[in-house]
A = this chain, B = another copy of it.
């Protein structure tokens, strides 16, 4: 019957993807599906538990065997996002020697990551996220530490003004996070600077910020 053949094809799909038991590694498949949805035009709005299940070829209730609820899945997605963000910043920073320029590079990379992955970024900063989730908290911390590290290094090199590195980091993070949100939410109209590329805007904001933080 149609039912049987459909079911078999599902099993086969799961089997082919390095399965451990029952139907492949569903947990991983669900996260991957969520990542795929979030990268599509629909964005974070279209990220629904049922759609994730559909893509994994599984019933809408199956995800509950691997995640307590939707938020837990979102945490996993967000965690992966913070790791990618950290990587993006680190990769950019690695190509710059001057510590002030490195600070700027990190800020620009931050905004560009958000602009390139708006759906993912929105999940990372969604209101419903369980802040207690251990992996997520650690991943977010690591991303933030990248910024702090660059600031401390700049201070040691005498290129950034002395003072509370933490306050400087919070200010920097606020600026890049705010710009990222403004850009991905399409809120540039009031500034009269629409049409400008995210990169150009990021460079402009980060330069002003770095000028302010630079030793004088």
Contact = CB atoms under 8 A, between A and B. Distances in A.
**How many of chain A's residues touch chain B, expressed as a range?**
35 or more
Nearest to A211: B212
Interface in A115-166: 122, 125, 127-128, 131, 137, 140-141, 143-145, 164, 166
Nearest to A178: B178
A41 interface: no
Interface of A: 43-45, 122, 125, 127-128, 131, 137, 140-141, 143-145, 164, 166-171, 173-182, 185-187, 189-193, 201, 204-205, 208-209, 211-213, 216
B166 A128 contact: no
Given A131-B189, A140-B190, 14 more contacts: A45-B128, A131-B186, A166-B192, A166-B193, A167-B208, A170-B191, A170-B193, A171-B209, A173-B178, A173-B191, A177-B178, A177-B181, A181-B181, A216-B216
A182 to B, nearest CB: 6
A186 B186 CA distance: 24
Contacts of A213: 208, 212
Given A131-B187, A211-B212, A167 B204 contact: yes
Count copies of this chain in the complex.
Answer: 2
A191 B144 contact: yes
A137 B190 CA distance: 8
